[in-house]
Chains A and B, each alone.
Chain A
């Protein structure tokens, strides 16, 4: 045995641990809310602040809840995908506008397109807490019984949409 191989050996063990350590920090954390009813709330709508919205209004339908904000850069990344999805008329998308001044939010939608049936204004971020929002954007799939079936943390990608979200929605819509 070459004793000069010792540093290399130690280093290889170290790298192995670091590699395992990297995998321990998965970004997609299982949400405690999956399989539980979507928390109830009543909040004003973004476009018509006098009207309100509550999740129970959508009982009997499968819908997507997308948390977004005008200050969120990743939201722009996923936004074209949502706009495109809205055009396909597969599933209604509801937006939860998180901690955003109303004017900014409206301007943002005007600029990038509005894929939402309606947006809910959560200026204080209260509902965000109930839903365990880690960061914006996040997207929830909610079934006919009002139960959260899936949660996407971070932007929705085409890949996640086609391979996970859409098949799940087709299943739930049956």
Chain B
């Protein structure tokens, strides 16, 4: 085989790998990106139904309810402007608290209930997940513009 052909073969192989990787990435991006919405956005109907996304904000005070089975919980996520109910079955993270920041990942059902498959709270007492903070900030900005 001539060196030139060999070079082509090697470059071709490299490009093939890159192409496969790009295809994998695009495919994974299409189905696996998890978008983030604030309760205000969800209430406004911006979030998709039946597709996984994240909702973040603060757990509303005194909104945590435990179902009789002891494992299913319901709570309300708020960004101070709008509220949204979330259901979750399983063990909540250690730092899940009412009045603290939280991010829940799951799906929105036709009935308007967000069923979380994963609930995230952060590992620091004074810490608010940036996404939750973002939600509260957005609501704050919106409130300000309405006022003006």
- Chain A interfacial positions (CB closer than 8 Å to B): 25, 29-36, 126, 129, 132, 134-136
Contact = CB atoms under 8 A, between A and B. Distances in A.
23 contacts: A25-B130, A29-B133, A29-B137, A30-B137, A31-B140, A32-B79, A32-B81, A32-B137, A32-B139, A32-B140, A32-B143, A33-B140, A34-B140, A34-B144, A35-B143, A35-B144, A35-B147, A129-B61, A129-B99, A132-B136, A134-B126, A135-B127, A136-B126
Contacts of A33: 140
A140 to B, nearest CB: 14
Contacts of B141: 30
B73 interface: no
A35 B147 CA distance: 8
Nearest to A33: B140
A34 B140 CA distance: 8
Given A129-B61, A129-B99, A32 B136 contact: yes
Given A32-B137, A129-B99, 14 more contacts: A29-B133, A30-B144, A32-B79, A33-B140, A34-B140, A34-B144, A126-B99, A129-B61, A132-B80, A132-B136, A134-B128, A134-B133, A135-B127, A136-B126
Interface residues of B, number: 18
Interface in B90-144: 99, 126-128, 130, 133, 136-137, 139-141, 143-144
A100 to B, nearest CB: 13
**What does DSSP make chain A's interface, helix, strand, loop or mixed?**
loop
A36 B133 contact: no
Interface of B: 61, 79-81, 99, 126-128, 130, 133, 136-137, 139-141, 143-144, 147
A32 B128 contact: no
Nearest to B80: A32
A29 B140 CA distance: 10
Contacts of B144: 30, 34-35
A31 B128 CA distance: 14
A55 to B, nearest CB: 18
